[in-house]
With several copies, the nearest count.
Chain A
């Protein structure tokens, strides 16, 4: 794994921020909301190529940067901040990590280079529709899958699906083309307008198995997913605070900038405290996941629960500071709130992570 210095990490942050501000400003984000996939394919190719974002987690031998959760955390904070619609989380984080931890060299060699340069976009389905969980049946060298996955992140832009299914009482990971017969993709109307979730229905679809037993791999992906949501939330919260502070400095009421009223000042100070804590917690979780992923379970739940609640408060607080204008469709505030709140429920809600902590800390039962 490649390690970076503090200065290199700050350069990475600046490079991503500059790129996104330039190529995917708010106006573009809004336009993408109304497109079919929600993704500007050219920008994604550039993000993959110029910044190497798509290959951030891909080992160098497969054409990636071989970086860790430390750098990933920075990239995710920036993607949250910019409301990035590209399939960064779905393809470059979740699907890529599933392949990396699958231990399947052949699949890694076959798929990771394309994921790293952005020419392949994958989405990962791990949440079964309880009405029809995905079942895998052996079929010659391969398998055939039937069932449905929900909450598939960045579903619309994917050309490749990775999905899990129960095999012999364990978990198997399977890969299949998104465009094949029997594959039905439905984009659900998510609260988050800037990222497409969806449902993938499979009807007797041929698929290849990736690696062998994937139970540990799935757990690893879920930890990374929870961390990724929290990191995006830290980026969103930081931006919400900036917008609120800027507005409070300039907007006048009763003949003074509203930011001179103690009620506003103190709320913003509390939001600052939340943002600083979110960032510190994400940084600590990133370091732990990079250094010792096996023992990161506790910090992942702490950061996911904390960022979910604190981040929501900060995004709601932005609307409170803005007043009426923050309640309009045209202002960006609701896009942040929508994304923040959606991230709170992906990969375990704050209350679910608190319940997990209660069990891990020995409080339950």
Chain B
């Protein structure tokens, strides 16, 4: 890729980061993340993969990754509105009306923070089985139902909401996607406390919520295709995670170098390294393919499967390396990472669901 872009980025960061730190210090609260996204957006770095007309730089995925890696080197907190920048924004760009695309600059500059209303308590991995209903009433849809596991749900101003608009159609067919202002009356958001005690997700309840018909994204009952666009971008993100995962393992090894690990522990770390290096290779290959304009194939599902299980094992190894310190309060971050990692094989497609997809769609095996 062009080194000029990265040079420009470094020039920007060298200037912006110290100034930002002066004001915010090492804080990584939501407000700081919002402020940092605004700074990055002003420099044109918040969504370098977006089209130029939407405020991006139209860079391919692997260059976006390089930008993220350089940025990561500065140790700044993550941008606040990642779901909007990574998943919802590109979906709006692909499916939105000109009016709907007006959300894009506001997503960039943090005026709007988006979340995705996909999972439901009764459906879980069975996305097509969703039951939140939207009934047409004049120029509005009236929405009733419940969403769960909504990331950033407590912070979001808007939601890409999947609803059932035709209860009689086969499961995938009667779904539509709505763009919902979270301040609409009838919406209630409750935090979900996770097993590590934190609350990164929310439950969202809809009671007679009126959403204008103009906020329909794509066609009525064609929401499944819209969803697939969003999930495709979500899974592309997994390829980026895969390359980051290798760095995480390398860092862990560097931290334990010369620490007198037992040979068995050394071997365990090397096994993690091999696993991470290989999944990162697959991630890089996927990003190059995407960059070359090819449709990524099964690699994304493979990466999700392998990365999530490898990440879970890595978290267990971190706990093992901390030993009794991890469980007796002396190394709480290892314990917290271990607990958090339990979600890796559940969120964004459980391992069994990913294996179903691979065996049916790639290998062509019959449905059970």
**Candidates A312, A316, A338, A363; contact of B257 at CB < 8 Å:** A363
Question: What are the residues of chain B within 8 A of A7 when measuring CB–CB?
Answer: none
Known: A191-B328, A259-B366, A302-B277. 7 other contacts (CB 8 A): A269-B363, A281-B281, A323-B124, A342-B328, A345-B323, A358-B267, A363-B269
Residues in B274-316 with C-beta less than 8 Å from chain A:
274-275, 277-279, 281-282, 284-285, 298-299, 302, 305-306, 316
Q: Do B328 and A197 have beta carbons less than 8 Å apart?
A: yes
Q: Do A323 and B125 have beta carbons less than 8 Å apart?
A: yes
Question: What are the residues of chain B within 8 A of A327 when measuring CB–CB?
Answer: 194-195, 342-343, 346
Task: Name A305's closest neighbour in chain B (CB-CB).
Answer: B274
A326, B355: Cα distance in complex, Å: 21
Interface of A, secondary structure class, is helix
Min Cβ gap A216→B in Å is 24
Known: A272-B302, A273-B305. A364 touches B266 (CB 8 A): yes
Question: What are the residues of chain A within 8 A of B362 when measuring CB–CB?
Answer: 269, 272
Residues in A345-365 with C-beta less than 8 Å from chain B:
345-346, 349, 351, 354-355, 357-358, 361-364
Min Cβ gap A90→B in Å is 14
Q: Do B367 and A260 have beta carbons less than 8 Å apart?
A: yes
Q: Do B124 and A253 have beta carbons less than 8 Å apart?
A: yes
Q: Do A283 and B363 have beta carbons less than 8 Å apart?
A: no
Q: Do B365 and A260 have beta carbons less than 8 Å apart?
A: yes
Known: A263-B355, A276-B299, A277-B279. A351 touches B274 (CB 8 A): no
A346, B273: Cα distance in complex, Å: 22
Asked if B339 is at the interface (CB within 8 A of a chain A CB), the reply is yes
Stretch at the interface among B55-63, B65-73, B105-113, B329-337: B329-337
**Candidates A188, A249, A306, A346; contact of B365 at CB < 8 Å:** A249
Q: Give the 4 A-B CB pairs with smallest separation, nearest first.
A: A334-B195, A188-B329, A329-B193, A265-B359
Asked if B100 is at the interface (CB within 8 A of a chain A CB), the reply is no
Q: Do A357 and B365 have beta carbons less than 8 Å apart?
A: no
Q: Do B358 and A363 have beta carbons less than 8 Å apart?
A: no
Known: A263-B355, A273-B305, A329-B197. A283 touches B285 (CB 8 A): yes
Interface mask (A268-294 → B, CB under 8 Å = 1, otherwise 0): 111011001100110110000000000
Interface mask (B212-228 → A, CB under 8 Å = 1, otherwise 0): 00000000000000000
Residues in B46-94 with C-beta less than 8 Å from chain A:
none
Min Cβ gap B262→A in Å is 8
A319, B342: Cα distance in complex, Å: 7
Min Cβ gap B131→A in Å is 12
Question: What are the residues of chain A within 8 A of B266 when measuring CB–CB?
Answer: 358, 363-364
Known: A254-B126, A302-B274, A328-B194. A261 touches B364 (CB 8 A): no
Q: Do A264 and B270 have beta carbons less than 8 Å apart?
A: no
Interface size class of B (residues with CB under 8 A): 35 or more
Asked if A169 is at the interface (CB within 8 A of a chain B CB), the reply is no
Q: Do A259 and B365 have beta carbons less than 8 Å apart?
A: yes
Task: Tell me which of A151, A254, A320, A342 has the highest count of chain B C-beta atoms within 10 A of its own C-beta.
Answer: A254
Question: What are the residues of chain A within 8 A of B166 when measuring CB–CB?
Answer: none
- Can you show 17 pairs from A to B with CB atoms below 8 A apart? A151-B328, A264-B365, A266-B352, A270-B355, A277-B278, A326-B346, A327-B343, A329-B193, A331-B195, A334-B195, A341-B319, A345-B326, A346-B327, A361-B269, A361-B270, A362-B254, A363-B256
Q: Do A188 and B330 have beta carbons less than 8 Å apart?
A: yes
Asked if A330 is at the interface (CB within 8 A of a chain B CB), the reply is yes
Q: Do A260 and B368 have beta carbons less than 8 Å apart?
A: yes
Asked if A333 is at the interface (CB within 8 A of a chain B CB), the reply is yes
Asked if A106 is at the interface (CB within 8 A of a chain B CB), the reply is no
Question: What are the residues of chain A within 8 A of B119 when measuring CB–CB?
Answer: 324
Q: Do A273 and B306 have beta carbons less than 8 Å apart?
A: yes
Min Cβ gap A192→B in Å is 7
Residues in A184-221 with C-beta less than 8 Å from chain B:
188-192, 197
Question: What are the residues of chain A within 8 A of B360 when measuring CB–CB?
Answer: 265
Question: What are the residues of chain A within 8 A of B367 when measuring CB–CB?
Answer: 260
A260, B359: Cα distance in complex, Å: 9
Asked if A89 is at the interface (CB within 8 A of a chain B CB), the reply is no
Question: What are the residues of chain A within 8 A of B265 when measuring CB–CB?
Answer: 351
Min Cβ gap B94→A in Å is 27
Question: What are the residues of chain B within 8 A of A320 when measuring CB–CB?
Answer: 342, 345-346, 350-351
Known: A323-B125, A358-B266. A302 touches B278 (CB 8 A): yes
Task: Name A349's closest neighbour in chain B (CB-CB).
Answer: B323
Min Cβ gap B236→A in Å is 16
Question: What are the residues of chain A within 8 A of B254 when measuring CB–CB?
Answer: 362
Question: What are the residues of chain B within 8 A of A259 when measuring CB–CB?
Answer: 359, 363, 365-366
Task: Tell me which of B148, B326, B339 has the highest count of chain A C-beta atoms within 10 A of its own C-beta.
Answer: B339
**Candidates A260, A263, A306; contact of B274 at CB < 8 Å:** A306
Asked if A150 is at the interface (CB within 8 A of a chain B CB), the reply is yes
Question: What are the residues of chain A within 8 A of B320 when measuring CB–CB?
Answer: 349, 351
Q: Do B346 and A333 have beta carbons less than 8 Å apart?
A: no
Known: A342-B327, A363-B269. A253 touches B125 (CB 8 A): yes
Known: A265-B356, A273-B302, A349-B320. A323 touches B326 (CB 8 A): no
Question: What are the residues of chain A within 8 A of B5 when measuring CB–CB?
Answer: none
A276, B347: Cα distance in complex, Å: 23
Asked if B141 is at the interface (CB within 8 A of a chain A CB), the reply is no
**Candidates A249, A316, A330, A363; contact of B193 at CB < 8 Å:** A330
Task: Name B119's closest neighbour in chain A (CB-CB).
Answer: A324
Question: What are the residues of chain A within 8 A of B124 when measuring CB–CB?
Answer: 253, 323-324
Known: A276-B298, A351-B320. A324 touches B346 (CB 8 A): yes
Q: Do A269 and B339 have beta carbons less than 8 Å apart?
A: no
A269, B302: Cα distance in complex, Å: 9
Task: Name B256's closest neighbour in chain A (CB-CB).
Answer: A363
Q: Do A363 and B324 have beta carbons less than 8 Å apart?
A: no
Q: Do B342 and A266 have beta carbons less than 8 Å apart?
A: no
Task: Name B357's closest neighbour in chain A (CB-CB).
Answer: A269
Min Cβ gap A290→B in Å is 15
Known: A276-B298, A277-B302. A191 touches B327 (CB 8 A): yes
Question: What are the residues of chain A within 8 A of B354 when measuring CB–CB?
Answer: 269
A342, B326: Cα distance in complex, Å: 9
Asked if A5 is at the interface (CB within 8 A of a chain B CB), the reply is no
Question: What are the residues of chain A within 8 A of B282 when measuring CB–CB?
Answer: 276-277, 280
Task: Tell me which of A264, A277, A312, A363 has the highest count of chain B C-beta atoms within 10 A of its own C-beta.
Answer: A363
Min Cβ gap A29→B in Å is 15
